[in-house]
Chain A
Amino acid sequence: MGTPRTTVWYEDVQEGEEASPLSIESITRTHIVRYAGASGDFNPLHHDEPFAQRVGYPSVFAMGMMTAGFLGHMLTDWMGLKNLRVYRVRFLSLVWPGDDLTCKGKVVEKHIENGRGYVHCDLTVENQRGEVVISGYAKVELPLNGH
């Protein structure tokens, strides 16, 4: 799912440019449980339905970090893991089983500072109703190709 780009040069990235979105159709409890095992996050709100309902939620819901992981996956496919300098997310809405998620990115600014090329990106994850469940930001340092 998603194809990482090979070397991304500073000169090849333009302000306003958008990433190819990463879509995940229908989040399942299996996605959530697999992430629980991988991360070690066994907060029962994310896997124990009777517990979640007892404290007032309609069902279990995904860890914010799982969705942040999907967004990070989109980001590293787009800009390259090695180039990442800052990655920040704010969790705005909960993600429920059955939700469809789309991870998006857009270059908002680029500049050269002390001979290094920096790119600033706005990031979002939206659900099937168009609600932003995560808003994020990344600062990326891209190599200059010297042309």
Chain B
Amino acid sequence: MITMEQEKPAEILVTLPIEPGKIREFARAILDDNPIYRSAKEAASAGFQGIPAPPTYSVVSAFFQESGSRLDVGLDMRYTLHAEQEYEYHIPVVAGDILTGRSRITNRYEKEGRRGGKLVFVTVETVYENQIGQKVLTVRQTLVQTSKTAEK
């Protein structure tokens, strides 16, 4: 079998369908029994046009992606931790929406760790639009690769 150096895409598209069952499952996982996540009627009386997605719901895009379609951030995931996460909410996201996210690496830098060793930080920004082309959500995820300090 010949292994070929694959061209790494600078940008990938992710599809994120907003589904009521997945919202309910996610709300349960964050121990949130707010009725707006379970009842369209409660959501409407809170001012939403459908059952809304919780603030960190877009992480479920991991569930919807095919394994081959991830952005390659060039880090060893065994030694990589999540450093920061940021959301800007532009328009409410509700069940029935189909979002398309455009992900790209927006920052990459190295720093000396406090206990020595090199830390590599990578920021991935994803801008989501809904099915009618409105920008709804911007997500910035920063990962950090430690210099295998967890290794025995």
Contact = CB atoms under 8 A, between A and B. Distances in A.
B56 A68 contact: yes
B60 interface: yes
Nearest to A64: B82
Nearest to B92: A82
Contacts of A68: 56, 85
Given A72-B30, A76-B54, A91-B83, 14 more contacts: A2-B31, A24-B31, A38-B29, A38-B60, A39-B59, A40-B62, A41-B59, A65-B56, A69-B54, A72-B54, A72-B55, A75-B55, A84-B55, A86-B88
Given A37-B25, A56-B150, A69-B30, A82 B46 contact: yes
B30 A40 contact: no
Nearest to A86: B88
A38 B26 contact: yes
Given A72-B55, A76-B34, A89 B89 contact: no
A37 B88 contact: no
A40 B64 contact: yes
5 contacts: A35-B29, A38-B60, A81-B34, A81-B52, A82-B48
Contacts of A85: 88-89
Interface string B40-77: 00000011100010111001111111000000000001
B110 interface: no
Contacts of B30: 35, 66, 69-70, 72-73
Contacts of A82: 46-48, 52, 92
Contacts of A91: 81-85
A58 B35 CA distance: 38
A57 interface: yes
Contacts, number: 124
A85 to B, nearest CB: 6
Nearest to A72: B55
A56 B150 CA distance: 5
B29 A69 contact: yes
Contacts of A37: 25, 29
Contacts of B85: 64-65, 68, 88-89, 91
A40 B63 contact: yes
Given A43-B77, A88-B86, A90-B84, A1 B56 contact: no
Interface string B4-23: 00000000000000000010
A40 B82 contact: no
B36 interface: yes
B28 interface: yes
Given A38-B26, A39-B63, A63 B88 contact: no
